[in-house]
Chains A and B, each alone.
Chain A
Amino acid sequence: MTLQPIKKVWLDQKVEKAALTRRLLDRLPGVPVEQVAGLEPVKREFRFATDPVGESKQHLFITEQKAFIRPCPCTPGSVGCGYWTIDLDLNCPFDCSYCILQQYLNWQPLTVAVNRQKLRVELESFFQRKSSGIIRIGTGELADSLALDEMTENSIFLVESFRGQGRFWLELKSKSDYIRPLLTIKPAENVVLSWSLNPEGIIATEEKGTAGLMERLQAAAKAANHGYRVGFHFDPILHYPGWQDDYEGLVAMLFRVVPVEAIAWVSLGSLRFPSALLPLARRRFPKSQIYEQEFIRSAEGKYRYPRPVRLLLYNLLAEMLASYRVEDKIYLCMESAEVWKEFLEKIKRGRQKLAFPFSWLG
Chain B
Amino acid sequence: MTIRLIKPDKINLEDRRFRFTFNPVEERFKYSVQVIGVLQPVIITYREGKPVLIDGWKRVEAARFCGLEQLLTLEIDNQATDAEVFFLAFFINYSRRPFSLAEKSLAVRKFHDFGLQPPDIIENVLPLLELPPEQKTVEIMLELSGLERWLEVIHRKDWKLGTAELLVSFPPEERHWLLQLVEKLTHSQQKEIIENFYSLKRRTGKSLKELAGEKEIGTVIGRLTAGELEAAGALLSVLRKFNSPTVWRLNQAISDRIRQLELPPEISLDYDRTLEKTGLKISLEASSTREFKEVLRCLSERLASPEWEEIFKLLHHVGD
Contact with B along A305-331 (1 / 0, CB 8 A): 011110110010000000000000000
Given A48-B135, A312-B319, A294-B244 contact (CB < 8 Å): yes
**Which residue from B135, B247, B316, B320 sits with its C-beta under 8 Å from A296?**
B247
Say whether A289 contacts B274, CB under 8 Å. no
Chain A CB within 8 A of B56 CB: no
Say whether B246 contacts A306, CB under 8 Å. yes
Report the minimal beta-carbon distance from B278 to chain A, rounded to whole angstroms.
6
**Which residue from B135, B162, B250 sits with its C-beta under 8 Å from A279?**
B162
Chain B CB within 8 A of A336 CB: yes
Chain-A contact segment, one of B107-115, B117-125, B285-293: B117-125
Say whether B318 contacts A48, CB under 8 Å. no
Chain A CB within 8 A of B228 CB: no
**Which residue from A44, A239, A299, A308 sits with its C-beta under 8 Å from B250?**
A308
Say whether B136 contacts A311, CB under 8 Å. no
Complex: how many Å from CA A2 to CA B113?
42
Chain B CB within 8 A of A37 CB: no
Cβ of A311: which chain B residues have Cβ within 8 Å of it?
A: 318
Complex: how many Å from CA A315 to CA B275?
18
Say whether A292 contacts B199, CB under 8 Å. yes
**Which residue from B119, B136, B278 sits with its C-beta under 8 Å from A338?**
B278
Chain B CB within 8 A of A212 CB: no
Cβ of B123: which chain A residues have Cβ within 8 Å of it?
A: 44, 47
Cβ of B133: which chain A residues have Cβ within 8 Å of it?
A: 47
Given A47-B133, A52-B134, A296-B275 contact (CB < 8 Å): yes
Say whether A312 contacts B276, CB under 8 Å. no
Complex: how many Å from CA A282 to CA B136?
13
Complex: how many Å from CA A158 to CA B183?
59
Cβ of B245: which chain A residues have Cβ within 8 Å of it?
A: 294
Q: How many residues of B contact A (CB 8 A)?
A: 30
Given A289-B203, A292-B203, A307-B162 contact (CB < 8 Å): no
Say whether A306 contacts B247, CB under 8 Å. yes
Given A283-B136, A294-B245, A294-B247, A308-B317 contact (CB < 8 Å): yes
Contact with A along B181-203 (1 / 0, CB 8 A): 00000000000000000010011
Q: How many residues of A contact B (CB 8 A)?
A: 32
Chain A CB within 8 A of B174 CB: no
Contact with B along A15-32 (1 / 0, CB 8 A): 000000000000000000
Chain B CB within 8 A of A297 CB: yes
Q: In this complex, what residue of A is CB-closest to B163?
A: A279
Q: In this complex, what residue of B is CB-closest to A239?
A: B320
Q: In this complex, what residue of A is CB-closest to B244?
A: A294
Chain B CB within 8 A of A342 CB: yes
Chain B CB within 8 A of A50 CB: yes
Complex: how many Å from CA A273 to CA B260?
38
Chain A CB within 8 A of B149 CB: no
Given A47-B133, A306-B247, A312-B320 contact (CB < 8 Å): yes
Cβ of B247: which chain A residues have Cβ within 8 Å of it?
A: 294, 296, 306
Given A289-B203, A292-B203, A296-B274, A50-B135 contact (CB < 8 Å): yes
**Which residue from A46, A239, A297, A306 sits with its C-beta under 8 Å from B275?**
A306
Chain B CB within 8 A of A298 CB: yes
Interface residues of B in 143-181 (CB under 8 A from A): 162, 165-166
Interface residues of A in 259-317 (CB under 8 A from B): 279, 282-283, 289, 291-299, 306-309, 311-312, 315
Chain A CB within 8 A of B243 CB: yes
Say whether A48 contacts B203, CB under 8 Å. no
Chain B CB within 8 A of A49 CB: yes
Given A289-B202, A308-B319, A48-B276 contact (CB < 8 Å): no
Cβ of A299: which chain B residues have Cβ within 8 Å of it?
A: 276
Q: A283-B165, A291-B202, A296-B247 are in contact. List 9 more A-B contacts (CB 8 A).
A: A48-B119, A50-B135, A279-B165, A279-B166, A296-B275, A298-B276, A308-B246, A338-B277, A342-B278
User: Footprint of B on A, CB under 8 Å?
Assistant: 44, 46-50, 52, 239, 279, 282-283, 289, 291-299, 306-309, 311-312, 315, 336, 338, 342, 346
Closest 6 CB pairs of A and B: A292-B203, A296-B274, A311-B318, A292-B202, A308-B317, A309-B320
